[in-house]
Amino acid sequence: MKIERPRGTRDFLPDEMEKRRAIEKVMRRIAESYGYREVLTPTFEHLELFTIKSGEGIIEEIYAFKDKGGRDLALRPELTAPVIRMFVNECTGMPKPLRFYYFANCFRYERPQKGRYREFWQFGVELIGSASPLADAEVISLAYRIMDELKIEFDLHIGHVGLLRHLLRDLDENVASKIMRLIDKKDIEGLESYLDETKVDSDLRDSIFSLVELVGSRDIIESAREIIPNFDFSHIEKVCDILDALDVEYKLDFGIARGLDYYTGVVFEAYAREGLGAQNQICGGGSYRLAHLFGGDDTPATGFALGFDRIAEICKVEVVRKKKVVVVSFKGLEGEAFKIASMLRNRAVVVTDVMERNVKKQLSYANDINADLAVIVGERELRDGKVAVKDLKSGEQKTVSMEELLDVI
């Protein structure tokens, strides 16, 4: 009986892994160049870490289970809460701000479809300790640089959940958070009927809809000011100033609500222009406060998570491969072949026969696996300290000394 993979999971074959690693490498390089250092938290955590303030959407999606000791645990659905938990437990004595990045798998019980899996990977950063617009600008520009360097066509939208929260401040907390979720899902019909249902007055209703529809250049701040005259727009303006100076292209979008309840200020999302259909959101982030909920001091932070699998799906990175060499040997010379292979491995990928095949079959295998060169170890050449080298792309073959061999490879 064949055993299938669990629903919503994937196997990654070597070609795909090679591509994923190449993308990962770019992300790491850029994050590190901004001073971010990698962290890793456990794959599973106490369930309550995610239920404290993650928003209802994520609770339904959590892979939760009891362990043999009866503890309520969950596979991490995201890494922001775990990283802040780690910060509270281990890092409060470290100089602020802290710059962390992570690359890890996450688990959500979702309906699997293109770009939506039950196990998927996120690459993200958390900048902990600053509530300044400078921190938001840094994090947004870092996300932008990564997507730009990966040559993805995307639209970056930046908003501020403070505006919506300000409008909804007099409503019951649960009602407000449900409204935020409907806005996040762009479920306008659902929003209309929910506003009817909860008898939200018509002025507020109009303000909500006008605000949510505001998408555009910096000028929309003026329109937003008309809707919410007593809101302080200086923070978002400063973020814009810096991004403009960096030539980061973006749109302001005051309809961004974000699914998770912990965001407090600037929020942003990036959408791929093509190749992903409905699941086109490839990055989400913003500033938030979580540390006080996990027993730490109230500490501002800003971060983002890139949807690695969606990015891998559309990104065309060039995979740089090492030269591939097959050392082919006549029967009885396997020891020599293994020795020559060892000598070459710091310059190339080198494989030897382990199937006890004849020379012809070894060469044909070398072609099958797309090798660049075959080094043929034969009795006669070996007696003169030489081997034959065959270029498998051109078919050209020559006999070289061991020293010359190193130059060829």
Site residues for ligand ATP per CB under 6 A: 78, 108, 110, 115-117, 120, 122, 259, 279, 281-284, 305, 307, 309-310
Q: For residues 99 and 310, which CB has a smaller minimum distance to ligand ATP in the complex? A: 310
Query: What kind and span of H or E run contains 16?
Result: helix 14-33
Q: Please state the closest distance from residue 43 (CB atom) to ligand ATP, in A.
A: 16
Supply the minimum distance, in Å, between the C-beta of residue 119 and ligand ATP.
Answer: 8
137 within 8 A of 243, measured Cβ to Cβ: yes
Q: Which is nearer to ligand ATP, 76 or 108 (CB)?
A: 108
Q: How far apart are CA 395 and CA 393, in angstroms?
A: 6
Of the candidates 155, 306, 140, the one whose C-alpha atom is nearest the C-alpha of residue 238 is 140
CA distances (Å), origin 367, targets 15, 16, 336, 353, 400: 17, 21, 22, 13, 21
Structure-block tokens of residue 30:
């850029």
Q: Which residues pair with 389 in a beta bridge?
A: 375, 398
Which CB, 259 or 378, lies closer to ligand ATP?
259
Nearer to ligand ATP, 260 or 366 (CB): 260
Minimum distance, C-beta of residue 40 to ligand ATP, in the bound complex (Å): 18
- CA-based end-to-end distance of the chain: 46
Give the residue with the Cβ less far from ligand ATP, 266 or 373: 266
Q: How far is the CB of 57 from ligand ATP (least distance, A)?
A: 7
Q: How far is the CB of 287 from ligand ATP (least distance, A)?
A: 14
Q: Return the structure tokens found at 158.
A: 């930046």
Buried b (16+ CB within 10 A) or exposed e, 154-165: bebbbbbbbbbb
Q: Which is nearer to ligand ATP, 79 or 363 (CB)?
A: 79
Minimum Å distance from CB 321 to ligand ATP? 27
Decide whether 301 or 305 has the Cβ nearer to ligand ATP: 305
Closest residue to ligand ATP using C-beta atoms: 307
Please identify, using beta-carbon distances, which residue of 110 and 381 lies nearer to ligand ATP. 110
CB of 120 to ligand ATP, least distance (A): 3
At closest approach, how far in Å is the CB of 399 from ligand ATP? 54
For ligand ATP, give the closer residue by CB, 54 or 130: 54
**List of residues 6+ apart from 273 with CB closer than 8 A:** 153, 154, 155, 280
Give me the DSSP letters along 295-362. Answer: TS---EEEEEEEEHHHHHHH--PPP----EEEEEE-TT-HHHHHHHHHHHTTTSEEEE--S---HHHH
- Least distance (Å) between residue 370 CB and ligand ATP: 31
- Residues 122 and 306 sit within 8 Å (Cβ to Cβ): yes
For residue 92 the two structure tokens come to 């409060």
- Three-class secondary structure of residue 37 per DSSP: strand
